[in-house]
């Protein structure tokens, strides 16, 4: 299995630098051709969402679509895929950030009854309580 860094994943998704896109695509294809998987950690996913939103000004629905396509890919593995799916489901209708949705979902999967926060938007989510 080959882990990818944020910059490789972003180049693969947005294809804004043709040389780096081709290199990322080649790495991924070689891994898959060898019968292995590509791995995306939670940290890389969070950073990717931030880059897509802040650097590329992508709307939430397009980011959700991109992450969902990656989740559907048979050759891509994620750290705690169920938490990511829950976070995307929550984020779709929330005003809170994706990071907050993922933190809440991950903490719930780890056994937390809720996550305490001072963040007003996050505190409105069912997985948080106001501190």
Looking at residue 57, its pLDDT comes to: 97
> Would the pTM count as exceeding 0.95?
no
- For the chain, how many structural domains are there in total? 2
What b/e readout covers 16-40, taking b as 16+ CB neighbours within 10 angstroms?
eeeeebeebeeebeebbeeeebbeb
51-63 per-position pLDDT tens digit: 999 999 999 999 9
Task: Give the residue-averaged pLDDT of 33-49.
Answer: 96
In a shared domain, residues 27 and 11:
yes
* Domain housing 130: 80-131
In a shared domain, residues 15 and 73:
yes
Tell me phi and psi for residue 10, to 5 degrees: -65, -45
Query: Look-up: residue for tokens 């938490």?
Result: 83
64-114 per-position pLDDT tens digit: 999 999 999 999 999 999 999 999 999 999 999 999 999 999 999 999 999
Contact 3, 39 (CB under 8 A): yes
In a shared domain, residues 73 and 86:
no
Contact 79, 37 (CB under 8 A): no
């Amino acid at each position: 299995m080959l882990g990818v860094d944020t910059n490789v994943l972003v180049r693969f998704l947005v294809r804004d630098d043709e040389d780096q896109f081709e290199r990322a695509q080649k790495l991924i294809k070689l891994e898959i051709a060898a019968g292995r998987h590509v791995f995306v950690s939670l940290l890389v996913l969070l950073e990717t969402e931030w880059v897509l939103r802040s650097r590329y000004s992508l709307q939430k629905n397009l980011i959700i679509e991109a992450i969902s396509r990656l989740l559907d890919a048979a050759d891509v593995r994620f750290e705690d895929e169920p938490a990511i799916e829950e976070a995307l489901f929550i984020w779709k209708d929330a005003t809170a950030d994706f990071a907050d949705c993922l933190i809440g979902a991950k903490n719930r999967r780890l056994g937390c009854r809720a996550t305490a926060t001072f963040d007003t938007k996050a505190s409105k989510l069912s997985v948080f309580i106001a501190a």
